[in-house]
Amino acid sequence: MLLNLNEIHFLLAGAFALFALGFVLSLLARSKAQDGNDLAQRLEQALPGAQCAQCGFPGCRAYAEAMAQGTAPCNKCTPGGQDTTEQLAAILGTPIPEDDNDDAIFTPRQVAIIHESLCTGCGKCTRHCPVDAIEGTVRMPHHINERECIGCNECVKTCPERCIELVRLEPTLANYNWDLKAIRVKRT
């Protein structure tokens, strides 16, 4: 069956319209992905960068991406505290969720301790601590400086002797999360 000229024009016009529609949709999708990426980047820049996973995500970038996609609230970064929560809410243009992180801020901090009688001084924990909170010389029992520790659990996961555990500090004024947003993060 042969097509006449009008039918050929009609088919070509339809094919062109479909192609144009696909092109526009792909541009829109790309632009939306770019917007999401930019938003995640701005959110990440507002986070403290401790990569401690206390937000429930495996690092600041993953948490920022989840917020940008609308799948995580902006009040889960314990080290960042209330200031960070407010910055994140401002970037997202959303109110701070009702269940603010007062519990996290007003609960004594968790820190790691080493059971020194079991420590072989292998030094593995020292290399994984993001804030240089572990002190000790090779083959001697190591010790954790609780003022520096942010309770990220990295050393607990690393120790081959299983002699590190996380404990909650006594509820004194000195042991709350007052200034955790000011932690120093080691650059590698």
Shortest Cβ distance from residue 153 to ligand SF4 (Å)?
6
Write the DSSP symbol of residue 146: T
- Token digits for 24? 């526009």
Hey, which residues between 80 and 139 contact ligand SF4 (CB under 6 A)?
80, 112, 114, 119-125, 128-129, 131, 133-134
Name the residue nearer to ligand SF4 (CB basis): 73 or 142. Answer: 142
- CA nearest neighbour of 148 among 109, 120, 115, 187: 109
Residues 122, 136: Cα–Cα separation, whole Å: 10
Stretch that binds ligand SF4, among 5-13, 86-94, 157-165, 168-176 (CB under 6 A): 157-165
Shortest Cβ distance from residue 13 to ligand SF4 (Å)?
52
- Token digits for 181? 């947003």
Q: How many CB atoms lie under 10 A from the CB of residue 123? A: 15
Question: Is the separation of the CB atoms in 132 and 32 below 8 Å?
Answer: no
Q: Count the residues in the chain.
A: 188
Hey, which residues between 15 and 44 contact ligand SF4 (CB under 6 A)?
none
Out of 43, 67, 75, 79, name the contact with ligand SF4 by CB under 6 A: 79
Name the residue nearer to ligand SF4 (CB basis): 14 or 97. Answer: 97
What radius of gyration do the chain's Cα atoms show?
Answer: 26
**68 touches ligand SF4 (CB under 6 A):** no
- CA nearest neighbour of 180 among 40, 47, 44: 47
Shortest Cβ distance from residue 148 to ligand SF4 (Å)?
7
The residues of the shown chain that bind ligand SF4, judged by CB under 6 A, are: 47-48, 50-55, 57, 59-60, 63, 77-80, 112, 114, 119-125, 128-129, 131, 133-134, 142, 144, 149-155, 158-159, 161, 163-164
